[in-house]
Chains A and B, each alone.
Chain A
Amino acid sequence: MTLDLTSLYQTGRPYINMLVILAAIMGVAPMLVWIERKYLAYYQQRVGPLYVGKFGILQSFADGIKLLTKEELIPKNADRLTYLVAPAISMTAAFIGFAVIPITEAFYITDVNVAVLLWLAMSSLGAYGVILAGWSSGSKYPFLGCLRSCSQMISYELSLGTSILVPVLFAGTLSFKGIALWWKESPLVAQGNWIYLIPLVIGFFVFLVSGFAETNRIPFDLPEAENELVAGYHTEYASMKFAMFFLGEYVAISAIAAIAVTAFLGAFNSPFIGFAFAKQFSLEAVWGIWGRYLGQLFWFLVKWFALFWFFIWIRATLPRFRFDQLQRFGWYGLLPVSLVNLIIAALIVYSQASAGMAK
């Protein structure tokens, strides 16, 4: 009896990918913190972390060790169980978002037909971590932070969900892999039909802004506004529990960036996919199927990192919103824009489909 390696691999592939992606995120998140600190420093003409390792590259690991060895501190007023569970919710929900993101055609954990819904649900669940943390700390500033976070999430998840419906509508599927594969034969690429670009561009902006709010990034970081609320919802957290929040935050940013790449920036496809010359220079022509996967991995990482860089750039540039401005911007600005955008997208799909039928 011989061991059927191929079928064994087919069976075990989701689990292998799960381990690989989990390990990659765990390894990459500290590097993201380092990159962010370094780039933020560059935006202020400083040099950033410098002394731990070459170019301070091990700074985050040093910080991690420091947090690991710190004293566990649970406030007397804290609701103990909730207090302990909250960071785990926050981090786990952030990680689960990566389960449905196709990094290449073959490299993903799972491809469910409700991936968009799953991811939206998980990002909402992440808000529970924040809210429970603030509530269970038994302290006033975290409580204020969690209230802010609560209403902010409710306001911005609407436009987040509505704006991501545009590629869903175009691709006709709720699976991220389906959306990623749609890019290749989309009318935008295959026929050069530029009208599809309008709702995608508007949707991308709305999605990005809502994504900033969803991950509590800087123009919308009211839940942890340092100069108002000490540290917001994680004021009372120390040592590893704080590190879990911190890690979860960066994983959530990575997930948002990866989702934006998949849904709006052409996923893992090369940006030159519509041009004829790209066929000759593609890795697929040289190394076959593995070359294709490698090219897809490369383009996914490039786009994803560019978006992460943009997140840092925004953080270096924009000041924090006032809370009423934040709510007004969400409800009067982003939500109507994304709704109108969705209608435009639907009209485009309808008109193109009927035009196709008339032919």
Chain B
Amino acid sequence: MDEIKEQTGREQGNGAGGNGHHPPSGIGVKRVTHEPKKLGVGWTLRGLMEVMRGLFTTGKHFVRPRVTIYWPYQPAPLKDRFRGLHRLERYEEGPYRGMEKCIGCSLCAAICPADVITVVASDNDPENPKSPGERYAKVYDMDMLRCIFCGLCVEACPTEAIVMKHDFALADYTRHFSQHSVDKFIYHKEDLIDREYYW
């Protein structure tokens, strides 16, 4: 329907030299404009048909079921591999039952691109070991204000000690008065180990 109309810049009345945005118009510089050939009856009817088609499309959506999820009142449908808030795991069965999986190797801290994780390892008491390995994580802090939830820590962990659960609404009105720290968004080991998760 559109006719490609070629006009020189001079005919457009734009010949006063370039204004910096367009190439300077003059002899030899063609400007191409797309314009309808004319405003005839067929063009008008076709336009009306297109509007009707558009109205029909939106009308279809009007009667379709709504896709809104009433989130805080309904559980959010998340994929199994959704990367939410972390959790430090324990062995649930086997010879190390009840022990922490984390052996304090700091690989998660090494791979973390946002520098979220701080691990300070300490030697296990041979009589009463906290983890099956030589050492365990004495300090395990995560600065959740920096976390980008990339999941690299989970991939790096050799013992699958750190996993990501489905909790995702982590914002709060205050930074203070966490159970274990002054800053709510610095998650300490006590916040992460055996953390109850909801989603």
Give A residues with C-beta under 8 Å from B: 39, 42-47, 313-314, 316-318, 328, 332-333, 337
**Chain B interface SS verdict (over half):** helix
B61 — which chain A residues lie within 8 A by C-beta? 42-45
- Knowing A332-B39, A333-B44 touch, does A313 contact B55 (C-beta < 8 A)? yes
Query: Is A45 a contact partner of B64 (Cβ separation < 8 A)?
Result: yes
- Knowing A47-B68, A317-B51 touch, does A42 contact B57 (C-beta < 8 A)? no
**Chain A interface SS verdict (over half):** helix
The total of interchain contacts (Cβ-Cβ below 8 angstroms) comes to 38
Minimum distance in angstroms from B109 CB to a CB of chain A: 42
How many B residues are at the interface, by size bracket?
Answer: 10 to 19
For the complex of A and B, the 5 pairs showing the least CB-CB separation, nearest first, are: A317-B54, A47-B68, A317-B58, A316-B58, A45-B67
Minimum CB distance partner of A329 in chain B: B39
B39 — which chain A residues lie within 8 A by C-beta? 328, 332-333
Give B residues with C-beta under 8 Å from A: 39, 44, 51, 54-55, 57-59, 61-62, 64-68
Minimum CB distance partner of A337 in chain B: B44
Alpha-carbon gap, A328 to B65, bound state (A): 39
Query: Is B58 a contact partner of A46 (Cβ separation < 8 A)?
Result: no
Query: Is B68 a contact partner of A313 (Cβ separation < 8 A)?
Result: no
Minimum CB distance partner of B38 in chain A: A332
A313 — which chain B residues lie within 8 A by C-beta? 55, 58-59, 62
B62 — which chain A residues lie within 8 A by C-beta? 39, 42-43, 313, 316
Query: Is B51 a contact partner of A46 (Cβ separation < 8 A)?
Result: no
A43 — which chain B residues lie within 8 A by C-beta? 58, 61-62
Minimum CB distance partner of A332 in chain B: B39
B59 — which chain A residues lie within 8 A by C-beta? 313
Between A47, A314, A317, the greatest number of chain B beta carbons within 10 A of the residue's beta carbon is seen for: A317
Alpha-carbon gap, A337 to B57, bound state (A): 28
